[in-house]
Structure 1
Amino acid sequence: MLTQPEDGPIPAEVLAGSVLAEADPHVAGALRWALARAGGEGLATLAAGARSADVDVRRRAVVAIAELGETAPGATEVLVAALDDPDGTVRRHAALALGRQGMTSVVPTLVGMVVEGADDVAAAEVLGALSEDPGCADRILAALVDELAAAPADGAVRIRLAQALVELAGTTGQEVLRRLAQDDDRTVALVASAFVGVLDERAAADGTA
């Protein structure tokens, strides 16, 4: 068990090493919490972990680096490199973290996550935040529409895409959702209709209806 030395706090590099080695998610979460409050220290150890041959270590490293946020100089660069990791979980964690930092280049990865159903709720939320930028909103909307066209008979995919549409800023996805409310798949149509109602309420509350 990791204990605090009597002469001061646990060094960040020791915390980082423990994060990389800890398999218990609850203990790992507490270690990441402590590390995130170390002012960005420990990144060198985590960055090395992100290049480990052990996929579990890489996953833990990327999650911890994501929680350091932009406070740690060099963290963003490590996350960008992780987008090319052979492991899908590593790539997804990196994409979510970078999207939360406002990096729009991860939009295709996030849309892919929605389609695949891998952390799709989190991906849709990040896409919604990125869509606050009108230029990016158009890109996101176009990507979601393309995926709808590519999955005409997959109801589960279409429902996840509808969920992403309703997360977009303002009423960006409203027109597409209205079309989906007429979908041949009854379940998709019902879900889309409900989402149209959500957007109508949002517009009324914002005074844009």
Structure 2
Amino acid sequence: MTMPTNDTDARRTLQGLEDGNPSVRLRTALAVGTAPEPRFVDKLVDRCAIEPEFHVREALTWALTRHSPSTTVPKLVDELRSEAAQARSQALHTLSKIGDRRAWPAITRALLTDADDEVARSAWRAAVALVPEGEEPELAGALATQLGRGERATRLSLSRALIALGGEVITPLLRAAMTDPDPRVRRHALATERLSHNPDAGFEFAIEEAKRAVALGTAGREG
């Protein structure tokens, strides 16, 4: 697919992003990213909020990363206030890929604790990618409030985000969480600490080890 040279071709491209065939939408998104055009940014952002196919959403994100951050970042930040969970999640995902720290102030505690797991997970990844030097402890404190949340994928995402912030930052928070009244929080904190020391062991192994330690009442006594 070639990129548009006039208004008629531009309209065809915009229609391609809405085509009923996901293969057409994918090709169109890749074409837009290959030859970036600022006039398509709004449509790319809008499509991210409703695109049902994962691989097409990834192409839309890639296309947005190919445009100037001065154009894309403000529009993506606006999406973070959307009532649609997918709009917030995909905007966060795209901001994490762009990596422009001007978006950092928009990564609020409300997003980090969003009721939608996909939004929260995307916010955790974006926050770790964008956090300015020196603000890691505050971010870690906000993330630690989510220990014990959700199913395996959500807990693993949070563990990875915490580990990415570094042991010196997260160790006191994890040790404190190991004494939490909620056993889910204690298990998750212990599993995160063990995973940080032995990433090759895998999350499932760390969780099972943590379950045993919590059941035996030894969580937080090691080290």
- TM class by shorter chain equals 0.5 to 0.7
Task: Give the letter aligned to residue 36 of structure 1.
Answer: G
Report the TM-score, using the length of structure 2 for normalisation.
Answer: 0.61
Return closer, same or farther for 1:25/1:139 CA change in 2, 3 Å cut-off.
Answer: farther
Tell me which of 93, 98, 107 is aligned to 2:95. Answer: 98
What is the match of residue 67 of structure 1? Answer: 63
Map Cα deviations across residues 76-111 of structure 1 (whole Å, 9 max, x no partner).
232233233332321222233234423211321541
* C-alpha separation in 2, matches of 1:51 and 1:122: 18
* C-alpha separation in 1, matches of 2:162 and 2:63: 27
* C-alpha separation in 2, matches of 1:23 and 1:139: 45
* C-alpha separation in 1, matches of 2:73 and 2:120: 22
Counting aligned pairs with the same residue, the percent is 16
Return closer, same or farther for 1:142/1:180 CA change in 2, 3 Å cut-off.
Answer: closer
* C-alpha separation in 1, matches of 2:22 and 2:191: 36
Task: Give the letter aligned to residue 156 of structure 1.
Answer: G
Return closer, same or farther for 1:29/1:184 CA change in 2, 3 Å cut-off.
Answer: farther
What is the match of residue 78 of structure 2? Answer: 81
* C-alpha separation in 1, matches of 2:62 and 2:113: 20
Return closer, same or farther for 1:111/1:193 CA change in 2, 3 Å cut-off.
Answer: same
Tell me which of 147, 162, 169 is aligned to 1:166. Answer: 162
* C-alpha separation in 2, matches of 1:136 and 1:31: 39
Return closer, same or farther for 1:29/1:124 CA change in 2, 3 Å cut-off.
Answer: farther
Matched position secondary structure for 2:194: helix
Q: What are structure 1's unaligned runs of at least 5 residues?
A: 203-209
Paired residues, what number? Answer: 183
Q: What are structure 2's unaligned runs of at least 5 residues?
A: 200-223
What is the match of residue 11 of structure 1? Answer: 4
* C-alpha separation in 1, matches of 2:180 and 2:22: 41
CA RMSD of aligned residues (A): 3.9
Tell me which of 36, 39, 47 is aligned to 2:42. Answer: 47
* C-alpha separation in 2, matches of 1:24 and 1:138: 46
Confirm or deny: 8 A CA contact 2:80 2:92 kept in the other structure.
yes
